Structures are given as C-alpha cells and as structure tokens.
Amino acid sequence: MEEVIITSKFTIYNTIEELPIETQNLFKQAAEAQKNAHAPYSKFRVGAALSLDNGKIILGSNQENAAYPSGLCAERVALYQAASNFPESKILKIVITAAPEATGIPTAIPPCGACRQSIAEYEIKQDSPIKIYFMGEIGKIYKSESLKNLLPLIFNKKLL
C-alpha cells in the first residue's frame, strides 16, 4: 500500500483592488454578465469572463431550464463561446463571480465539477494552464494558477 498526499495552492486576495487592473476589469465584466443570468429556479446568478490570447474577452452567465439538467453554468457558456468563435486562441484566465439573488455571499464560489472537467479539457487542448479567479458577490478572491489545483486527478482522453 502507498499513501499519496495531493496539495493545492491558491493565492487569496482580500479585496478586488489588490488584483491587477486587467483582472479587476474582468471581474467587472463578469459581474455585468451575471445580471444576464437566467436563474428562475435556483435564484443563484453566476457570471464569468474569459481573457483570450488574442485580446478578446468572452462573457457567460448561467442559463437554467425547467428540464434539469438542461441548463449551463456561466463558465461553460463562456468556454464554449470562446471555442466556437476563436478556436485557435488560448484561454489565459477565467474569472467567476456568483451570488444568490436575495443576499450577497462572502464565500468564494469555485467552478462545479462539470465546469472543472470542461476547463481541464481546454487546458489539455491548449497545453498551457488557465488561471482561475473566483469569488462570491463579496469577500475574498481565490486565484489558482491552473485547473490542476481544483481537479488534480484529471480525467482525459489518454485514459479512454
């Protein structure tokens, strides 16, 4: 028997003002995208903004559907839009902001499992890490240098 310890490393920012201006602007755009969420069932709005190596910014918001689980998370909406419109571009970073409609949540909201797998696919495809920043509506901001911090044992095509 062998025991393996896997660790994750995050940088935590106390305020958005501690982030580089470019990342602050991405969060502002993600917050605007969050307003376009269609979340009549969960009442939980999520916004995402992707920064591409061609200088483009791609936005996404969660889109729910009464026929669960037919909806999509903000992260995947933005990822798929980037892949469809700019298939040769690399994703440099993704920022995510989320909150219930009724109250601000001070806990940083990371991507769900399905979004983690989707981000992993793009990291593998582009052979370079994607920086991931996430927060609640208020509170601390977490930064991961790669999806591997959130999903260290990635399932990929090599395993098929």
Domains, the chain, ordered by start: 12-148 (3.40.140.10)
Residue 73 annotated as binding site: yes
Calculate the dihedral angle through the C-alpha atoms of 86, 90, 92, 95, rounding to the nearest 10 degrees. Answer: 40
157 contact partners, CB below 8 Å, separation of at least 6: 124
The strand ranges marked E within 62-155 are 91-100, 131-135, 141-144
Residue 68 annotated as binding site: yes
CA distance 117 to 154: 7
CA within 13 Å, CB half, 105 = 17
62 contact partners, CB below 8 Å, separation of at least 6: 37, 38, 39, 44, 45, 46, 71, 72, 73, 74, 77
Flag whether the pTM goes above 0.85.
yes
Q: Give me the tens of pLDDT residue by residue for the chain, a chain 160 residues long.
A: 999 999 999 999 999 999 999 999 999 999 999 999 999 999 999 999 999 999 999 999 999 998 877 899 999 999 999 999 999 999 999 999 998 887 777 889 999 999 999 999 999 999 999 999 999 988 999 999 999 999 988 888 888 8
pLDDT at 134: 97
Q: How far apart are the first and last CA of the chain?
A: 26
Residue 74 annotated as binding site: no
**Residue found by looking up tokens 């999509």 in the block:** 72
pLDDT at 111: 96
Residue 67 annotated as binding site: yes
Active site residues: 75
